[in-house]
C-alpha cells in the first residue's frame, strides 16, 4: 500500500470520491453525455463574465445542463449561496434549462433553475 504525499490529496480518496459522484442516481442519466471544461464568456456592461463550466450536457448544438463540481466537505449557507449564484450566471450565459451544484464529498446534488425574467 502506498502512502499519500505529505500535505497533498490522497489519490485513492480522490478517485473513490470521483467514481462515487459519477454513480449518483441523480447524475447517471447524464454521465455518458457530459462534456468537460467548457469556457464561458459574456459581456453585458457593466457586467462581464469569464469562467469555465466544469461540465455540460449538450442536445444538438445547445447546452441543456451545466454541472459545477464542488469539493467542499461542509459548505456553509454563504458558500452554498455563492455557488448557486455562480451557476445561475452560467445558466444565463449558456441558455441552459437547469444546472447542478454537486458537492462530491457529501454526495449531494442541488438542482438550480435559471433566474426568473
62-94 confidence digits (pLDDT tens): 999 999 999 888 899 999 999 999 999 999 999
For the chain, domain boundaries: 11-112
pTM of the model: 0.85
Flag whether pLDDT at 5 surpasses 80: no
Quote the CA–CA distance of 67 and 79 in Å, as a whole number. Answer: 17
Specify which of 2-6, 10-14, 80-84, 111-115 reaches the highest per-range mean pLDDT: 80-84
Model pLDDT for residues 7-57, shown as the tens digit of each residue? 788 899 999 999 999 999 999 999 999 999 999 999 887 888 999 999 999
Fold adopted by 11-112: Lambda Exonuclease; Chain A (3.90.320)
Backbone Cα Rg of the chain: 16
Determine whether 91 is exposed, middle or buried from the number of CB atoms within 10 Å of its CB (0-12, 13-18, 19+): buried
Instruction: Please return the burial class of 98, using the count of CB atoms within 10 Å of its CB with bins 0-12, 13-18 and 19+.
Output: middle
Amino acid at each position: 500500500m502506498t502512502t499519500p504525499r505529505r500535505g497533498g490529496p490522497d489519490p485513492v480518496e480522490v478517485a473513490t470520491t470521483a467514481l462515487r459522484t459519477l454513480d449518483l442516481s441523480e447524475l447517471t442519466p447524464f454521465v455518458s453525455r457530459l462534456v468537460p471544461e467548457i469556457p464561458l464568456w459574456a459581456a453585458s456592461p457593466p457586467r462581464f463574465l469569464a469562467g469555465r463550466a466544469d461540465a455540460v450536457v449538450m442536445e444538438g448544438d445547445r447546452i441543456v445542463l451545466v454541472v459545477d463540481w464542488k469539493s467542499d466537505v461542509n459548505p456553509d449557507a454563504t458558500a452554498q449561496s455563492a455557488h448557486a449564484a455562480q451557476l445561475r450566471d452560467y445558466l444565463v450565459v449558456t441558455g441552459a434549462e437547469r444546472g447542478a451544484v454537486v458537492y462530491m464529498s457529501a454526495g449531494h446534488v442541488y438542482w438550480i433553475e435559471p433566474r426568473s425574467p
